[in-house]
Amino acid sequence: MESSASVVTVSLRPLPLKRSGRPPRAIAAQLSEQILLAAEALFLEQGYGATTIEQVAGQIGATKRTVYVRFTDKAGLFHAVVKRVLDARRPDLRTIGTDRSVDERSVDMGLRVLNYGLDPDVVRLFRVVTAEAYRFPELNRMIEEQAAHGIGWAVNQMLQEEVRLRRLVLDDIDLATRLLLSLIIGSPTKEAGRGITPLTGTARRLWVKGAVALFLDGTRSAASGNSTDRQAQTG
């Protein structure tokens, strides 16, 4: 039986007065939004296991049935919260134009991605997922899928543009995307997840510049090696 105890108090606007019949679409959307806001605060503050549907409903003066009508179970609600947190904080990498050098563009992209990965709420979300991984391995896959369809896709598109502009030579863009993201956010986000103070300011920029330089130097060396091989074959 789920506990009715509430650890976190969420400040939300009161729900609209109930009316007979099916609620208008706007009111239904507002109710779903309030459920997500309450669930997000509870999940991030006290974790997945300690949060109950009853607590979420209690925060907005609703019933458990009201929540279940919109979200099939707690896992489904958490899935929606994960998407909400990541989507709301995901940077728009499409605004980084191709009129800049690949080095400048990559550093700008890297800083936006690292800032996203070290966002306090994103870090808290990753901690919750990591803590529950032994019971709910699908939660880790959920995070990975959200990242792949968001940040990963945007970085992949940027690398494809650089290849089309002949400013990069990459044989496997999918692999290159994973390697670049690993260099930029792998270690910093893992440290933040363990409670180590995240990189800030100048240290964050230096980290990204170093990661990007390592990645780009590797692609340039590969391109140079391929050119030398082709010359040797035709010589």
CATH number reported for the structural domain that contains residue 75 in this entry: 1.10.10.60
Q: How confident is the model at residue 107 (pLDDT cuts 50, 70, 90)?
A: very high
CATH of the domain at 176: 1.10.357.10
Please give the pLDDT value at position 40. Answer: 96
230 falls within a domain:
no
Q: Assess whether pLDDT exceeds 70 at residue 231.
A: no
> pLDDT at position 4, please?
42
Q: What is the pLDDT of residues 38-92, one digit of tens each?
A: 999 999 999 998 999 999 999 999 999 999 999 999 989 998 998 899 889 888 8
Q: Is residue 173 located within the same domain as residue 70?
A: no
State the average pLDDT over residues 185-210.
Answer: 93
Tell me whether residue 14 is in a domain.
Answer: no
Q: Is 99 exposed, middle or buried (0-12, 13-18, 19+ CB in 10 A)?
A: exposed
**Pair 67, 53: CB distance under 8 Å:** yes
Domain count across the chain: 2
Is residue 1 one of the residues assigned to a domain? no
Residues 217, 103 share a domain: yes
Could you tell me the pTM of the whole model? Answer: 0.76
CA 158 to CA 154: how far, in whole Å?
6
> For the segment 127-148, what is each residue's pLDDT rounded down to a tens digit?
888 888 887 787 777 777 777 6
What is the per-residue burial (b if ≥16 Cβ within 10 Å, else e) of 10-45? Answer: beeeeeeeeeeeeeeeeeeeebbebbbbbbbbbbbe
User: In terms of domains, do 105 and 146 share one?
Assistant: yes
pLDDT, tens digit, 9 for 90 and up, residues 208-218 = 999 999 999 98
Res 135: pLDDT: 77
69 and 125 both lie in a single domain: no
214, 209, 220: which is closest to 179 by C-alpha? 214
Full domain range(s) for residue 94: 90-225
Residues 128 and 167 placed together within one structural domain of the fold = yes
Asked whether residue 140 falls in the same domain as residue 67, the answer is no
Residue 30: pLDDT band by 50, 70, 90 thresholds? Answer: confident
99 and 69 part of one domain: no
What is the percent of the chain with per-residue pLDDT over 70, rounded to a whole number? 81
Closest CA relative to residue 15, chosen from 2, 28, 4: 28
Let me know whether 220 and 147 are in one domain: yes
Picking from 83, 101, 131, the residue at the C-terminal end of a domain is: 83
